[in-house]
């Protein structure tokens, strides 16, 4: 069984990648989150540290934060990977990318430099397969970020599994948001000890991106699990 780190964004794709890696026999030893060094959110998905820590507690896996700008992203990621490799004797890093080859090449390059291998469980699966797997597995997430030039901000805060996928396709929106149309924050998954109840604190407009800042209201115990 290979020990692995998960490149964790807090969103649906990294969550599904973690789930599939577990089913493939990987031992997940830590979550690695790249944080915005200017704002208190994870890069791209806009998850707060409080939400991310709550996710890690629900999964019962250590979480580590690396703060960076886009300029020093590669250097910061490499340093974080090296540190976690040494701390956990990790052999692989799990990523949730689907088919953007530039992302894969970058990840393989940095992970190799850290002395590990990159594993992408979702690679080259169709959008239908990925979106159906997210829903069928019981992963639940809310839309946390929308790029308003391509997606109406009315979708912000909505549950991913309830989205009108046919309508999104008709609007030429990737149903997985792989091209940055939208991002998500997971609040429940089959390997969570309990779901996380999220509330909306504030909305932020950053250029053509609108971000919904979520706060943790409480963790409601799953069926059969006491507080």
Structure tokens at 9: 């964004």
Which residues on adjacent β-strands are paired with residue 92?
4, 117
Report the pLDDT value the prediction gives residue 38, as an integer from 0 to 100.
87
Single out the residue of 2, 1, 14 nearest to residue 144, CA to CA: 14
Average of per-residue pLDDT across 143-150: 96
Q: Is the pLDDT of residue 225 over 50?
A: no
Q: Which strand (E) or helix (H) includes residue 220? A: none
Q: Which two tokens stand for residue 138?
A: 């019981």
The pLDDT, as a whole number, for residue 146 is 97
Domains and CATH numbers, the chain: 3-219 (3.40.50.620)
* Stronger pLDDT, 149 or 226, i.e. the higher one: 149
How far apart CA 112 and CA 94 sit, in angstroms, is: 13
Q: Structure pTM?
A: 0.93
In tens, the pLDDT along 58-75 reads: 999 999 999 999 899 999
Separation of alpha carbons 141 and 179, rounded Å: 18
């Amino acid at each position: 069984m290979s020990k692995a780190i998960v490149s964790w964004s807090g969103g649906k794709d990294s969550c599904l990648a973690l789930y599939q890696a577990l089913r493939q026999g990987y031992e997940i030893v830590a979550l690695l989150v790249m944080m915005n060094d200017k704002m208190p959110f994870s890069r791209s998905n806009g998850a707060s540290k409080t939400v991310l820590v709550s996710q890690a507690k629900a999964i019962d896996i250590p979480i580590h934060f690396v703060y960076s700008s886009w300029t020093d992203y590669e250097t910061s990621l490499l340093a974080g990977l090296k540190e976690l490799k040494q701390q956990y004797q990790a052999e692989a890093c799990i990523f949730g990318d689907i088919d953007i080859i530039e992302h894969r090449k970058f990840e393989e390059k940095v992970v190799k430099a850290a002395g590990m291998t990159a594993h992408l469980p979702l690679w080259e699966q169709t959008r239908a397969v990925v979106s159906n797997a997210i829903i069928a597995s019981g992963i639940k997430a809310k839309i946390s970020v929308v790029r308003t030039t391509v997606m109406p901000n009315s979708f912000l805060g909505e549950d991913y599994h309830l989205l009108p996928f046919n309508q999104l396709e008709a609007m030429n929106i990737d149903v997985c948001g792989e091209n940055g149309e939208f991002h998500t924050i997971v609040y429940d998954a089959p390997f969570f000890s309990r779901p996380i109840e999220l509330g909306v604190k504030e909305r932020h407009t950053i250029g053509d991106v609108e971000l919904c800042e979520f706060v943790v209201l409480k963790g409601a115990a799953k069926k059969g699990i006491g507080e």
